[in-house]
Amino acid sequence: MYAGRVGLDAHAVLASIGTGAAGSFLLNMLGPKMVNRDFAAGFFVEHLIRDLRIASEEAGAAQLQLKGLTTALGQYTALAERGGLRDGTQALIKVYD
């Protein structure tokens, strides 16, 4: 989203950061799908929400407040509410549109 907003070529940005310390399997696999607006599921949002809810319940039972987990669950829930349950997890970018 940042690259597009400031006029950078998103594919060039991904190529640049994908080979450095910021690179990761998910960045290199899902980043191009985000840029290309390819939301076909490799892993469904609905399944990730299920897993995040389980993790949240377990964290709560252990009296842990995991803000990153809470944020991720909230963002994916917002995506689901917009009709994204059967999208791939890379569709999270829609929350920022």
Q: Where are the domains of the chain?
A: 1-37, 39-97
Give per-residue pLDDT as tens, 50-97. 999 999 999 999 999 999 999 999 999 999 999 999 999 999 999 998
Name the one residue in this structure whose structure tokens are 């399997």: 25
| Res 92: pLDDT | 97
**Closest-CA residue to 71 (of 47, 55, 82):** 55
Predicted model pTM: 0.88
* 33-53: average pLDDT: 97
Q: Fold for 39-97, please state it.
A: N-(1-d-carboxylethyl)-l-norvaline Dehydrogenase; domain 2 (1.10.1040)
Instruction: Please give the distance of CA 78 from its chain centroid, rounded to a whole number.
Output: 12
For residue 3, give both structure tokens.
């690259």
> CB–CB of 18/39 below 8 Å?
no
